[in-house]
Amino acid sequence: MSFDGYDFIITSGILGVGSAFFFAKSYLFPSFPTEAARTFLGSNPFQLRNGICQRWEAVAGAAWAGVGLVLLVLGTIRTVRDGREGYLVTSWLAMLFAVAVGAAAWIASAAIVGRLSRREYLPRMTEIQSGVFDAAAQAISYNGLRAEEVRVGLTLSAEQRQQRLDEAGRRLDQVGKLIDMPRTQGESDVDFLKRLAPFFEKKPVR
């Protein structure tokens, strides 16, 4: 039998579920729920990135819902006119195949949304986090000191140096999360700094 009205309705249902998943992920499961509740250096870059990702996910969800609505209308019209069942209704194998195709389409859509979101937020994250990276890079490069402090020969206690190094490590962790380059297990601050450096030009890394 040919692809008929009932099959359009079934396919539209699959697309409707896919769109619901996109909307649910966008608003119920943001990328950084914990970090978004905090502020860093007087701003909240995690909330900005969440907003960018949520907008693209909402666009994808709206597209899925729109296509599903069109198929639902077409399916209803064809079912009324033809008055017969399509092959998806009478074949479990075909129905499972339709579900599998829908799942694959959702995964592909999620990957595309991820790439589009990253292409938008990555340059913005590197721009607004350049100062954070610079401060962390100086502290790690000069063992807790700033460049100007090194020039004037300032000395700090071991406790003060360690506090600055700990803060620099936290700043690097923030930057790494925002540009999708998180710290690997056991990675030192120096190695992590060198791995992030290509994203920030003209930064003092030695």
Per-residue pLDDT tens digits for 150-176? 677 777 778 888 888 888 899 899 899
Closest to 172 in 3D by CA, of 205, 134, 142: 134
Q: From CA 170, how far away is CA 146, in angstroms rounded? A: 17
Q: From CA 107, how far away is CA 75, in angstroms rounded? A: 25
98, containing H or E segment: helix 92-128
pTM value is: 0.62
Confidence class for position 206, pLDDT limits 50, 70, 90: very low
Q: From CA 130, how far away is CA 201, in angstroms rounded? A: 9
Which CA distances in Å does 24 have to 11, 60, 79? 20, 12, 31
Task: Indicate the Cα dihedral angle 121, 124, 125, 130, nearest 10°.
Answer: 160
